[in-house]
Amino acid sequence: MLRSFAVVASLAFALPAVAAEPPNVLFIAIDDLNDWVGCLKGHPQALTPNIDKLAARGTLFTNAQCQAPLCNPSRSSLLTGLRPSSTGIYGLAPGIRAADVTKDRVTLPQSFTAAGYFTFICGKIYHPGSIPPKDRAAEFGEWGIAPGMGKPEKRIAQLPGTPHPLMDWGPFPEKAEDAADYKIASAAIAALNKAPKEKPFFVACGFALPHVPCFAPPEWFAKFPLETLQLPPVKENDRDDTPRFSWYMHWKLPEPRLKTLTDRNEWKPLVRAYLASTAFVDHQVGRVLDALEKDGRSGNTIVVLWSDHGFHLGEKQITGKNTLWERSARVPLVFAGPGVAANAKCGRPVELLDIYPTLLELASRPAKKDLEGLSLVPLLKDANAKRDRPAITTHNPGNHSVRSERWRYIRYADGSEELYDLAADPNEWTNLAGFTEHAEVKKDLAKWIPKGDRPHAPGSAQRILTYDPKTKAVTWEGKPVLETDPIPEP
């Protein structure tokens, strides 16, 4: 269940002394992980002891927000330091180099590769196909494996029709060693062991789970018996006070609606699979962190762990991402290592965009003035430090969410709005946008909405939504959407 967090900064731990030599960086990405993490208390049965341990020795951001609730635009934004509204990268394509504004841009990994770091990548850091082969050497010195998830002989989840191949969940494979994320962790461990001692390293490790298909070895499912499984809180008529435009965010997507799951008795199995997949990923995170500790360089290594966006598991009557609500926009974000306060929690609204400038400052690299994020170093030293702006999440041109410490304000391309008081309503069940007493709140938050969104970059494809303010025409992946069209029900 979503909780609101007070800003807590422990003063019981002194800041580690900044090392004289350049610090290493261990960059851990997790795909589609929402706040179902023990230290974030998003689900009471979440089992993530290794992420929790990392958070305890560093700073946990309890109000971190993604720039886009979809893999490619979120990762492209983080790695280039620009918002989707600044690049035009909103969908699953194009890649980072396809947009005019990013074709020559220095990415976060490039900054460390050019600085003489030993740089290594394995798993999913960029969205697949985002970096052309000719550009790979400039990004990372060494490219490791990025294995596929694999699939069982027969589909496990019982869904109607012919579901998308990714829409499956259950125990698979039998052995942990055969799972993609186990192999990715092993590759990261090997890279840490081979990283030369005479130079700093930047090792990026991108895990695939809990992205669908939610597969994990049977032993991880055994940790979450169906008979005691707790489902997330949902409100049956939750969408009655949300604009029709809110449905366009995930119009005709393959992720099943809640009704489909309940009709097929698949809601509990999906929730169980998500928890099992998350626990399995956490174990892989632990393997990598243990290897770092054994290597002896943990004390001079900045560890940053993040997820590209969240994931609905029935909330707002849907599953998947592609929304501007808390469940889809809020992400885990943890920093630990030299220059970072230990056992600290920060409730300020921060963004994935902030990772790039933060790592540059922590590593004593020159600041880049063209980054749209803000360094988190002041908050890593003092979790109560001032933060002057909210966090912005964008999904296709004209659709933005503004998240402050207390409020979430959403404005869609057609001008329709939502407003939620997260302190009183952590599940975002009551849309307050129509209440006149909150007009000043909306006005204050609205001033942060990006102005003049770039149109879709050339080559944009999949999950593309457009709105023409002159004709009020809506198109979804190039096809007209009419006011009379019924809400899709997969």
Catalytically active residues are 71, 127
Structural contact between residues 172 and 152, judged by C-beta atoms closer than 8 angstroms: yes
Rg (CA), the chain: 21
Burial of 140 (0-12, 13-18, 19+ CB in 10 A): buried
The DSSP bridge pattern shows strands 350-351 and 58-65 to be parallel
| Residue linked to tokens 């409730």 | 347
Whole-number Cα distances in Å, 148 to 124, 132, 294, 475:
10, 19, 29, 32
CB of 99 within 8 A of CB of 87?
yes
Q: Which two tokens stand for residue 271?
A: 């929730």
Q: What distance in Å separates the CA atoms of residue 323 and residue 29, rounded to the nearest whole number?
A: 20
| Beta-strand relationship, 407-411 and 201-207 | unpaired
Sign of CA dihedral 276, 282, 284, 290: negative
The backbone torsions φ and ψ at residue 282, rounded to the nearest 5 degrees and listed phi first, read: -55, -40
Helical residues (DSSP H) of 170-266, grouped into ranges? 180-194, 218-221, 245-248, 258-263
CB 347 within 8 A of CB 3: no
Could you give the CA distance from residue 393 to residue 185 in angstroms, rounded to a whole number?
30
**What is the end-to-end Cα distance of the chain in Å, rounded?**
26
Q: How many CA atoms lie within 13 A of 37 on its CB side?
A: 32
Going by their DSSP bridges, the two strands 24-30 and 301-307 should be labelled as: parallel
Of 353, 288, 298, 287, the C-alpha closest to 57 is 298
